[in-house]
Chain A
């Protein structure tokens, strides 16, 4: 067969084209997967906490619902794992406290959780992309990928992340594990995930359900959503706004 430079270049070009097109054609996803038809959809999920209605009872109910569903252990030491917890006003709003605050207000107990920031520092620093931001704004952990480097814990200005210093099942009642959510393993970081798995099934987060009327959850981009309605009507604060992480958990004052 007679070969020429011209023919060789033509063939090489075709080959390169084939190499670039074929794999993407092969991996073009057919409709083998779908989302659950009733899933809740949003462009930007957000939460609002009505601090005037927060009572010890409501807070405990929300914490209990979350920690039971997600198999979060209760460890009686500094190695405790927290998804949603109680903290007083002063450490939460450190940059907004002054010496002549209303009597006792700095000791006001409040609920706090991951802020699901719009520009999340934890996502930026994660070397394995185990933490990532979904299109609907939820900052999610992929526990499979976490290597336990704890950069995200250093990056998060809200202390919303906890590390598993040992196997968490040691601190859980293994007969009463919630079958709907896995536990974690030693050496993995975890945090609140706005119940992404429930949202994808068409349900609202467990804490919002448990604290009906005190916690509000909705789409920030929808002017008629529950969250936008309460944010329109009430004055609200976010934690450490000046850091520019754009937290999406609002405190209604």
Chain B
């Protein structure tokens, strides 16, 4: 091989650099789902949709709600699970039960390092 003296060290540096996230995080604790403070299960059996759906889709749902509320004036959402209409409102529906932002919203958002700007304007109850 021509220039093996340059190519091999170069490949080694590249491999080290490329795998940096893996060996840098060796030995640190693995990600665990944060402990959330949930509303009293006696009062509220479940959320407006299933837990799995809310966990995966709440941001998409809130995004849809804000458009449909502000732009089209639809203020109520039909929950198939509860067979009931709910206001399409972060503060009046979601945070009516999940009233403590620090013990619910923030815990996951901090663990996953996302910084939603909802509360720059919307007021925590």
Cβ–Cβ contact A196 & B73, under 8 A? yes
Interface size class of B (residues with CB under 8 A): 20 to 34
Q: CB within 8 Å of A: which of B5-48?
A: none
Cβ–Cβ < 8 Å partners of B125 in chain A: 179
Nearest CB in chain A to that of B76: its residue: A34
CA distance A31 to B76 in the complex (A): 10
Tell me which of A32, A132, A184, A201 contacts B77 (CB under 8 A). A32
| Contact between chains at A34 and B74 (CB < 8 Å) | yes
User: Which residue from B70, B71, B73 sits with its C-beta under 8 Å from A35?
Assistant: B73
Q: How many contacts between A and B, using CB within 8 angstroms?
A: 49
Digit string of A178-206 for contact with B (CB within 8 Å is 1, else 0)? 11001111000000000010001100000
CB-based contact A33/B91 at 8 Å: no
Q: Are B66 and A144 in contact (CB under 8 A)?
A: yes
Nearest CB of chain B from residue A32's CB, rounded to whole Å: 5
Q: Does A143 contact B (CB under 8 A)?
A: yes
What chain B residues lie within 8 Å of A179 (beta carbons)? 91, 123, 125
Q: Which of B102-124 contact A (CB under 8 A)?
A: 117, 120-123
Contact string against A for B residues 58-82, beta-carbon threshold 8 Å, 1 for contact and 0 otherwise = 0000000010101111111110000
Give the bracket for the number of chain A residues in contact with chain B: 20 to 34
Once A144-B66, A179-B91 are accepted as A-B contacts, the answer to whether A34 and B78 lie under 8 Å apart by CB is yes
Interface residues of B in 79-94 (CB under 8 A from A): 85, 88, 91
Q: Which residues of A contact B68 (CB under 8 A)?
A: 33
- Complex CA gap A132/B71 in Å reads 8
Which residue of chain A is the closest to B63 with respect to CB atoms?
A144
A28 sits at the interface (CB 8 A): no
Contact A183 B121 (CB under 8 A): yes
Contacts of B74 in A (CB 8 A): 33-35
Pick the contact of B120 from A35, A39, A185 — CB < 8 Å? A185
Knowing A33-B88, A185-B120, the reply to whether A201 touches B75 (Cβ < 8 A) is: yes
Q: Is the CB of A35 within 8 A of B121?
A: no
Contact of A58 with B by CB under 8 A: no
A173 to chain B, nearest CB (A): 12
Establish whether residues A200 and B120, one from each chain, have CB atoms under 8 Å apart when the complex forms: no
State the CA gap A135–B72 with chains docked (Å).
9
Contacts of B91 in A (CB 8 A): 179
Q: Which of A151-198 contact B (CB under 8 A)?
A: 177-179, 182-185, 196
A184: which B residues are within 8 A, CB to CB? Answer: 121
Per-position 1/0 for A217-243, Cβ under 8 A of B: 000000000000000000000000000
Is B70 a contact partner of A182 (Cβ separation < 8 A)? Answer: no
Residue from the list B71, B75, B121 in contact with A142, Cβ < 8 A: B71
Closest Cβ neighbor of B74 among chain A residues: A33
- Could you tell me the distance in whole angstroms from the C-beta of A131 to the nearest C-beta in chain B? 11
- Residues of A close to B88: CB separation below 8 A: 33
Which B residues form the contact surface with A (CB < 8 A)?
A: 66, 68, 70-78, 85, 88, 91, 117, 120-123, 125
24 contacts between A and B (CB under 8 A): A32-B78, A33-B68, A33-B77, A33-B78, A33-B88, A34-B78, A35-B73, A35-B74, A35-B75, A36-B75, A39-B73, A142-B71, A144-B66, A177-B123, A178-B123, A179-B123, A182-B123, A183-B123, A184-B121, A185-B117, A185-B121, A196-B73, A200-B73, A201-B75
